[in-house]
Amino acid sequence: MEPHRERISTVPQPAVIFDVDGVLVDSYRPHFESWRRMLAELGEEFTEETFRGTFGRTNRDIFADLFGDKYSDAEVVAAADRKEALYREIIRADFPAIDGAAELIDALADADFLLGVGSSGPPENVALTMECLGCDKKIAARVTGVDVERGKPDPQVFQLAAERLGVAPHQCVVVEDATVGVAAAKAAEMACVALTGTATREQLDEADLVVDSLRELNAARMSALLD
């Protein structure tokens, strides 16, 4: 009789990579207000219509689109730092969690999903969001704006998150809210869930699944997207 051998599962562990702004934190108003205040200090106007076209993009890309080469690299860095400091002041005072975010993270962690975040924002913003949601220890990989050279819709942010999680793209589901984020997820050859709010269902139709609330999601629905 052969000796007993412990069976080792060869099933790859699934992963979910969350965008942060608009997915885990309802950051629309705080970001708009921090941009508006910062640009007002520079004597620049900033409308909500302009703001809506910036979602999911890096600060340096937004500055380049808005002002070309009007400001030096050093001025852009200083302005971006000021804007993000204002943003953290706003959300620290009254954290606007997306409904169901903490519960979904808990459920996926309990179902043995690997969890990561892929954000265009600075690490300080991501860290504050994780802290306020109480999920620091459940997020195994974080990729932020300082880790990437190319912002969404380039797939770099999600590719790097998968690499840090130690999983292949086909094992990953991305949760996004912006059209550029959905495009980045698909370019990374990952399944994608899109949450409405920042954009409409029609604008997000490239995603594999579009939902109106994170409470529509669970481990089974995520797994189904990978089958």
Do residues 175 and 154 share a domain?
yes
Q: What is the pLDDT of residue 121?
A: 87
From the number of C-beta atoms within 10 Å of its C-beta (0-12, 13-18, 19+), residue 203 rates as middle
Q: What is the pLDDT of residue 59?
A: 85
Do residues 67 and 100 share a domain?
no
Do residues 203 and 100 share a domain?
yes
Do residues 117 and 215 share a domain?
yes
Asked if residue 6 is part of any domain, the answer here is: no
Q: What is the pLDDT of residue 170?
A: 97
Do residues 202 and 129 share a domain?
yes
Do residues 70 and 102 share a domain?
no
Q: Across the chain, what does the average pLDDT equal?
A: 93
Domain that holds residue 67: 28-93
pLDDT at 80 > cutoff 70: yes
Q: What is the pLDDT of residue 4?
A: 45
Convert the pLDDT of each residue in 154-196 to its tens digit.
999 999 999 999 999 999 999 999 999 999 999 999 999 999 9
Question: Could you tell me the pTM of the whole model?
Answer: 0.86
Q: If pLDDT is split at 50, 70 and 90, which confidence band does 74 have?
A: very high
Do residues 183 and 216 share a domain?
yes
- Provide the number of structural domains found in the chain: 2
**Which of 92, 88, 72, 75 is closest to 39 using CA atoms?**
75
Q: Are 124 and 88 a contacting pair, CB within 8 Å?
A: yes
Do residues 107 and 184 share a domain?
yes
Q: What is the pLDDT of residue 11?
A: 54
Q: Give buried/exposed letters for 27-48 (b at 16+ CB in 10 A, else e).
A: bbebbbebbbbbbeeeeeebee
Last residue of one domain, picked from the residues 75, 93, 111? 93
